[in-house]
Amino acid sequence: MVAVLVSLRFRSLWNSLQHNPWQLVGAIVGALYGLGMLALAVVGFALLSVAPLDLQRAVIVGAGSVLILGWVIAPLVMVGADQTLDPIKLSPFPISRNSLFVSLTASGVLGIPGIVTTLAALASVIVWWRHPLALIVALVCAAIGVLTCVTASRAFMSLSSGVSSGRRYRELTGILVLIPVMLLGPIIIAVSDGARSIAGVLPAVTGVLGWTPLGAAWAVPGDVAAGAWVAAAARLLIALATLAVCIAVWRRGLDRMLSSPLRSNSSTTTRSGLGMFSRVSDSPTGAVMARSLTYWMRDPRYAQQLIILPLLVVLMSFYSFTGDGNSIMPTMGVILAAYFLSSGVYADVAYDGTAFALHLTTGVRGIADRAGRALAVASFGVPLIIVLTVAVVAITGDVASLPGTLGVTIGIALASLGAASVTSALIVFPVAKAGENPFKSQPGAALPSTLAMLGTFGAATILALPVGILAITTIVTGSALLGWITLIVGVVVGAAELVLGIVVGGKVYDRRGPELLMRLRS
C-alpha cells in the first residue's frame, strides 16, 4: 500500500507537470537548484572533514538546525512549493491510518526537497570519517534528522491550518501564524549578522542550538567523536523526543483532518442589517465598495495582506535600528507598504473566484467594478499610509521632511491602486479559495502572480516618477516649499492616476470580462 501511494504521488506530480509547462520549468529549475546546493554541500563536507572538531560540530549543528527550520517555514511562506497527497481525498479508500501515515511520510521524504535533504544529510556523514564510531552514529542521526524535517513540517502545517475547529478559529490561526513567520526572517538575519560580525560567537550559538530540538540530532555525532558520552545520550534523547512529538502532533492532525468535517456550523452567528451596504453611496460602485470592504474585514486572505502593511514598516525600522541606524529605512518601509497596498486590488478578481460571475450576469459596468474595488482599499489604505508616514517621521524626528514624505507615500499608494485596477482586469492567477488556508500552495501560481505584482509595481513606479523626482529634489535642495509642492503634486497627480487607472481598467474589464471568468473557472 505504501508503495502504491508513493507512486501515486509521483504519478500525480508527473501528470500536473505535463499539464502545466510553467510548473515543469519551475520543477526543473528547482531540481537544478537542489542539485547545485547538494554539490556545494558535498564539497563543503569534504573540506570540513579535515577541519578541527570544534568547527565541525558548530557547522554541522548550525546547518542541521537551519535545515529543520527551513522545512518548518518553507510550506508556510512559499507558493506552489509542493504537491503532496491530499489525505482528505484518500479518506474514502479502505486504507488504515497507520499505512496512510507511513505513506504520507514516505512521499514527503521522496519529494524533490526530501531527496535533496536526505542526500545532504547522508553526505554530511563523511565529515566523521576519521571517527568510525561517530560515523555510524551519524548515519542513524541523519535518518532521525531527515524524518524530523518531514514530520515537523507536517506537524506545523496541521497546527497552522487548525483543521479541528470551526471556520472562524481556523481562519484566525491562519493569520496569527503569519506574524511570527514574517518576523522570523529579520530575527534570523539579525542573529546571523551578529554572528558574522563576531565569528567567535558561532560555536556558542550552535552550542545552545545543539540542546534544542532543532540541533540535537546533528550534535550527537560530534559528542561521540569527542567522547562526551553523557552529552551524546542526552542529545539523542532530545532528538528522539522531538521526533516523537512531531509524529504525534502530525498524527493527531491527520486523524482530525480525516474524521472531522471541514466546515462546522457550530459558530454560526446571525448578523442583522446591511452592514457596509447601508453606509456607501447608493450606486453599483457603492455596492462593489461595500462588498469589498466586507471582504477586507471578514476574509482572512485579505486580512493577511492588511497585516503585511504595518509589518513591512516594523521590519524596515527593525533593520534600521539593528543596522547603522540609517533613517531612510523606515521611510522605505512606508513606501513599500504604499506599493503593497495595491496587492489587495490586483489579486481581487482572483480572490472572487467564480463568484465573479455575479458581476458578469448582473451586467455591472467595468468602471463601477474597478472604482468600487479601488475606493474600498483607498478608503482605509490611504489613511493607514498617512498614519504610518507620520509615525515613521515621528520616530526619525525629521519633522521638516513630513510634507515631502507624505507626498511620496500618498502619490505611490494612489498610483499603485490605479495600476492594479488595470492589472487585475488583465491577469488572474490561482489563489487560495475562500475558506482555504491562505498558505495552501497553489500549483502554477508563482509565475502569473509574480507577473501581476511586477506589472503593477513597475507601472506604479513609472506613474510615481514625477513625485519621486520632486521628492529627491526636495532632499537635495532642502527647500521646505518644494516639500509642500511634493505633497500637493503627490495627492493631485496620484488621484488623477487612480481615476485614469479606473477608466482604463474599466474598459479592459468590459472587453475581457468573459475571458476573466473562463480563466477563473479553469
Interface ranges with other proteins (CB under 8 A): 167, 263, 265, 268-275, 277-278, 282-284, 286-288, 290-291, 294-295, 298-299, 352-355, 357-365, 433-435, 511, 514-515, 517-518, 521
| Pair 243, 153: CB distance under 8 Å | no
Shortest distance in whole angstroms from residue 282 CB to other proteins: 5
Shortest distance in whole angstroms from residue 182 CB to other proteins: 24
Q: How buried is residue 324: exposed, middle or buried, by Cβ count under 10 Å (0-12/13-18/19+)?
A: exposed
Which CB sits closer to other proteins, 99 or 281? 281
Q: How many Å apart are CA 355 and CA 295, to the nearest integer? A: 13
Shortest distance in whole angstroms from residue 522 CB to other proteins: 9
Which CB sits closer to other proteins, 295 or 457? 295
Eight-class DSSP state of 249: H
Q: How many Å apart are CA 65 and CA 192, to the nearest integer? A: 13
Which CB sits closer to other proteins, 366 or 404? 366
- As a dihedral over the C-alpha atoms of residue 498, residue 504, residue 508, residue 511, rounded to 10 degrees, the angle is 130
Measure Cα distances from 34 to 15, 75, 131, 404 in Å. 22, 16, 29, 46
Q: Which residues contact 432 (CB under 8 A, 6 or more apart)?
A: 301, 438, 439, 440, 442
Handedness of CA 490, 494, 495, 497 (dihedral sign): positive
Shortest distance in whole angstroms from residue 364 CB to other proteins: 4
Q: How many Å apart are CA 203 and CA 48, to the nearest integer? A: 15
Q: How many Å apart are CA 422 and CA 503, to the nearest integer? A: 9
Cell numbers for 356, please give them. 465573479
Shortest distance in whole angstroms from residue 147 CB to other proteins: 38
Cα Rg of the chain, angstroms:
26
Eight-class DSSP state of 29: H
Shortest distance in whole angstroms from residue 289 CB to other proteins: 11
Which CB sits closer to other proteins, 82 or 299? 299
Which CB sits closer to other proteins, 96 or 270? 270
Shortest distance in whole angstroms from residue 499 CB to other proteins: 21
Is 180 strand, coil or helix? helix
Is 108 strand, coil or helix? helix
Largest CA distance in the chain: 80
| Pair 452, 424: CB distance under 8 Å | yes
> Residue 367 phi/psi, 5° resolution?
-65, -35
Shortest distance in whole angstroms from residue 76 CB to other proteins: 24
Which CB sits closer to other proteins, 51 or 355? 355
Shortest distance in whole angstroms from residue 273 CB to other proteins: 8
Shortest distance in whole angstroms from residue 485 CB to other proteins: 41
Q: How many Å apart are CA 137 and CA 90, to the nearest integer? A: 37
Place of cell 504521488: 9
Which CB sits closer to other proteins, 282 or 324? 282
Cell numbers for 413, please give them. 499608494
User: 48-69 as b/e, with b when 16 or more CB fall inside 10 Å?
Assistant: bbeeeeeebbbbbbbbbbebbb
Which CB sits closer to other proteins, 145 or 286? 286
Which CB sits closer to other proteins, 204 or 355? 355
Which CB sits closer to other proteins, 289 or 312? 289
Shortest distance in whole angstroms from residue 284 CB to other proteins: 5
Q: How many Å apart are CA 375 and CA 282, to the nearest integer? A: 14
Q: How many Å apart are CA 319 and CA 434, to the nearest integer? A: 34
Which CB sits closer to other proteins, 315 or 364? 364
Which CB sits closer to other proteins, 96 or 268? 268
Shortest distance in whole angstroms from residue 161 CB to other proteins: 17
